[in-house]
């Protein structure tokens, strides 16, 4: 590795001299710049550096705060934090704050510095390439979804027009073909919208604290039509707890799980129970249980893969992206989702998410069901 541009930020002139001498001996650097403090480094005119050696403790400055400040100016640089005394907690905090590496000054030598510099720069460059490819894929996917929507709308409009024009014709075969064409267009539309939802989980979300009850009720409000049509009964057991999450993503996650529970209820009326509770470590565990057709043990991991559908689902509408999207959402939140058998028959979907420190102090238990007139209700 050659022609690197490196900045050394350290208030100790002797330490700066040592790092510079080792860098010059390595033959890896094109330019080596120095600064005593973070604010003086910010005054440097260089557009970017390949690497920045940053002292953790400087007069009136904190290494982590300095790291965040300098990263905003030079986002493509590999930051290596240095300190006079090694500390595991400092090392952990440095990496979490975005440092590529961390080292006590007492361990800096020629071989170690060269190895550390190469590794840090390679890691940052690899991360940049991955992010660029992710952005390119995201752009391509968004363009694909956008470009597919227009012709699908046209197909559905043409189907409606043909159906009106041919409505009086007594041809069973023709009506069968028209019905097939309309269903195909609807399936294409559902697939494109599912793909759009799957892509949206790659966009940087806004995280905030929101109650588990609000999340579930928002999800159910979007499914009111499905609940009414299926006559589903949904039992909620929601303690007064908060979840740190992207509300929009969480609503989509819960909506997908409940929608699946309704869809795969079999020949019986959907009977679904949604539970949330706080675990000892502060996480929040959600459970969505149904008494439907269930999932065989050998398929309980595969169902979270994109476009994976069970044999019994072949005749039902769906895209095979619902649970894959659920898994992406849970992973974006640092959680985990899995499928178990419901002890009372059916499927039990579980996922755990980071929770707030607020203790639960009360339980709101509600039943979502349908009234005699078919309207959804809570009691």
pLDDT at 369: 41
**Three-state secondary structure along 18-84?**
HHHHHHHHHCCEEEEEEECCHHHHHCCCCCCCCEEEEECEECCEEHHHHHHHHHHHCCCCEEEEEEC
CB 256 within 8 A of CB 351: no
* Integer Cα distance of 245 and 226 in angstroms: 26
Separation of CA 372 from chain center:
40
pLDDT at 139: 64
Separation of CA 263 from chain center:
25
Separation of CA 58 from chain center:
37
Q: Tell me the residue length of the chain.
A: 379
CB 82 within 8 A of CB 101: no
The tens-digit pLDDT sequence of the chain (379 residues) is 788 989 999 888 999 899 999 999 989 888 888 888 888 888 886 778 899 998 887 787 777 788 888 888 888 899 988 887 666 777 777 777 788 888 888 888 998 889 989 999 998 888 888 877 777 666 666 666 656 666 677 777 777 777 776 666 666 766 677 777 777 777 666 666 656 665 565 566 778 888 889 999 988 988 888 888 888 888 998 888 888 888 888 888 998 899 888 988 877 888 899 999 998 888 899 999 988 888 878 878 888 887 666 555 555 555 567 788 888 888 888 888 998 888 878 889 999 887 643 333 333 334 444 444 444 443 3
Residue 214, H or E segment = helix 212-222
Q: What is the CATH number of domain 4-108?
A: 3.40.50.2300
b or e along 275-311 (b: 16 or more beta carbons within 10 Å of the residue's beta carbon)? Answer: bbbbeeeebbbbbbbbbbbbbeeeebeebbeeeebbe
Classify strands 29-35 and 4-9 as parallel, antiparallel or unpaired.
Answer: parallel
CB 293 within 8 A of CB 266: yes
pLDDT at 203: 60
Q: How many CB atoms lie within 10 A of CB 126?
A: 10
Residue 184, H or E segment = helix 172-200
CB 263 within 8 A of CB 256: no
* Integer Cα distance of 162 and 153 in angstroms: 14
CATH number among 3.30.565.10, 3.40.50.880, 3.40.50.720, 3.40.50.1820, domain 208-378: 3.30.565.10
* Integer Cα distance of 184 and 189 in angstroms: 9
Backbone phi and psi for residue 157, each to the nearest 5 degrees, phi listed first: -65, -45
pLDDT at 117: 92
Find the angle CA(56)-CA(61)-CA(67) to the nearest 5 degrees: 55
């Amino acid at each position: 590795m050659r022609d690197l541009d490196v900045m050394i930020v350290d208030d100790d002139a002797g330490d700066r001299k040592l790092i510079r001498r080792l860098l010059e001996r390595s033959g890896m650097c094109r330019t080596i710049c120095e600064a005593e403090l973070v604010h003086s480094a910010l005054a440097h005119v260089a557009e970017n550096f390949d690497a920045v050696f940053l002292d953790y403790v400087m007069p009136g400055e904190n290494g982590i705060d300095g790291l965040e400040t300098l990263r905003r100016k030079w986002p493509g640089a590999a930051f290596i934090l240095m300190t006079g005394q090694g500390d595991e907690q400092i090392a952990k905090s440095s990496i979490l704050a975005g440092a590529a590496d961390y080292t006590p000054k007492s361990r800096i030598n020629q071989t170690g510095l060269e190895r550390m510099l190469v590794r840090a720069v390679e890691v940052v460059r690899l991360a940049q390439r991955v992010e660029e490819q992710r952005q390119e894929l995201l752009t391509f996917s968004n363009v694909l979804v956008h470009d597919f929507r227009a012709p699908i709308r046209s197909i559905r409009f043409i189907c409606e027009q043909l159906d009106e024009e041919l409505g009086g014709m007594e041809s069973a075969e023709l009506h069968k073909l028209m019905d097939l064409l309309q269903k195909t267009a609807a399936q294409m539309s559902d697939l494109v919208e599912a793909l759009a939802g799957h892509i949206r989980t790659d966009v940087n979300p806004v995280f905030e604290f929101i109650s588990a009850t609000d999340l579930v009720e928002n999800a159910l409000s979007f499914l009111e039509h499905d609940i009414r049509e299926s006559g589903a009964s949904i039992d909620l057991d929601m303690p007064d707890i908060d979840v740190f999450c992207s509300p929009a993503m969480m609503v989509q996650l819960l909506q997908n799980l409940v929608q699946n529970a309704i869809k795969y209820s079999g020949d019986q009326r959907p009977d679904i129970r949604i539970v949330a509770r706080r675990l000892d470590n502060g996480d929040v565990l959600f459970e969505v249980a149904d008494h439907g057709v269930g999932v065989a043990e050998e398929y309980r991991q595969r169902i979270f893969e994109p476009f994976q559908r069970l044999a019994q689902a072949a005749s039902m509408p769906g895209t095979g992206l619902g649970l894959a999207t659920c898994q992406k959402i849970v992973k974006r939140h640092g959680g985990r989702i899995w499928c178990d058998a419901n002890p009372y028959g059916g499927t039990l979907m579980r996922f755990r998410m980071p929770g707030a420190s607020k203790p639960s102090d009360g339980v709101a238990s509600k039943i979502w069901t349908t009234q005699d007139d078919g309207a959804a209700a809570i009691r």
